[in-house]
Amino acid sequence: MKKLLLKSLAIIILITFYSCEEENAPIFVAQPDVDGIIFTNSFASNYLISEATKENIGDRLIWESADFGVTTNVTYEIQGSIDPTFSTFTIIGTTNENNFPVTISNFLDFAKELGLDADPSTTDSAGLANNVGQFFVRIKANVGTTDNLTTYSEFETINITWLEDIPTNTCNSLYVLGEGITDIGWNFPGIELTCDTNVLKAKARLGNANFRFFTTVGDWDSGLDYNYFENEGYTIDANLENAGDNFSFIGTPGIYTITIDDANKTIQLEASSSLWAVGDAVPGGWSFSGDTVEFIENTPDIWSASIELNNNIFRFFQTFGTYDTNNNFQYYIDQGFTIDSNFESDGGPDANFNFIGTAGSYNLTINAVEKTITLN
């Protein structure tokens, strides 16, 4: 009897085994994402919007992929609303990727829904300018299964300021020259500070010497010195001193952006900043160290360096030791740059540069004047 029971058990096990063998490959069933979606991009504290820039990208939203236990058929829906509860919302777009560009035009749609405008004569109920507000964005993810599994991100607040309509040419160009403008000296026409809504700007290489502003090219009597601006009530950068008929630059020599703000009555200097290449394709890898290659702005708006490249990824950073995505491959594409064919985007959420050329030493130049990135 005992042997009969053992034989019966063996037969049952064999039948079960062969039944399992005949089943299909393992089936992966989507499961709910309990963690939700997290944004990974940095949001600006305020976004400036206008009809003139509506075709521009306002920001690129980047998020961690939803975890449903499957990697395919996940659809992301980008939602925007002027109500943080999202009782009503607008679908900005959908994608199967984990990033999406939101345009200034999208921002303007929500601004109009908020009742904002660019007319400086209109005000809100408190009598303040009617051009500032906020809306909210979130990401919805779902898997196209019969269960229709869905998860959401927390919402992010987007603060917007609609630039008010102001006559564009409210000030005239100025021209700066002198020994302190080391690439120019006392030679007209000097460097032109162009005007945009009461703000004049130019980049120049400054040295520890004197210079002066002029309203008319070739007219020495049209000079505007330190005393002129001081008497007009301007606050003047601490790196500039009164030198009688001139300004005297006493800061660290280098390239600076000179800004004269006629509305706020200020003269400011902003020193040039370098860029650093970090990643597996470049010396130093993904850490900031003594081997990290620095791209110096030796000519206004042109950064360059000699660098060893291998077939891998990297991107540029504006601040040594600070990781961000402000200067990745997609950033330069969005800004209208033509990029050397030896580079491509790695296709990931950080949109790194991927070097696909022949490994070796190159001179790499980022030219923001001509909007090119080249290798030589």
Residues 131-154 have pLDDT tens digits of 999 999 999 998 875 456 889 999
The CB density around residue 248, as the number of other CB atoms within 10 Å, is 18
Q: What is the pLDDT of residue 70?
A: 60
pLDDT higher than 60, residue 44: yes
* 227 — pLDDT class (breaks 50, 70, 90): very high
Residue 111, helix vs strand vs coil: helix
Mean pLDDT of 309-317: 98
Domain span including residue 189: 174-271
Judgement on whether residues 54 and 156 belong to the same structural domain of the protein: yes
* 3 — pLDDT class (breaks 50, 70, 90): very low
Residues 60-91 have pLDDT tens digits of 999 998 887 765 678 999 999 999 999 999 99
Q: Among 223, 241, 271, where does a domain finish?
A: 271
Number of domains the chain is built from:
3
Q: Among 237, 271, 305, where does a domain finish?
A: 271
Q: Among 112, 131, 162, where does a domain finish?
A: 162
Domain of residue 153, CATH code: 2.60.40
Q: What is the pLDDT of residue 167?
A: 55
pLDDT higher than 60, residue 333: yes
Q: What is the pLDDT of residue 16?
A: 45
Q: What is the pLDDT of residue 122?
A: 85
User: Would the pTM of this model clear 0.75, i.e. be above it?
Assistant: no
Task: Characterize the bridge pairing of strands 254-261 and 246-249.
Answer: unpaired
Query: What is the percent of the chain where pLDDT is above 70?
Result: 87
Judgement on whether residues 287 and 366 belong to the same structural domain of the protein: yes
Judgement on whether residues 54 and 139 belong to the same structural domain of the protein: yes
Contacts 24+ apart (CB under 8 A), 247-251: 247/178, 247/180, 247/210, 247/211, 247/212, 248/180, 248/208, 248/209, 248/210, 249/180, 249/206, 249/207, 249/208, 249/209, 249/210, 249/211, 250/208, 251/206, 251/208
Residues 13-33 have pLDDT tens digits of 343 444 444 444 444 444 555
The CA distance from 348 to 248, in Å, is: 49
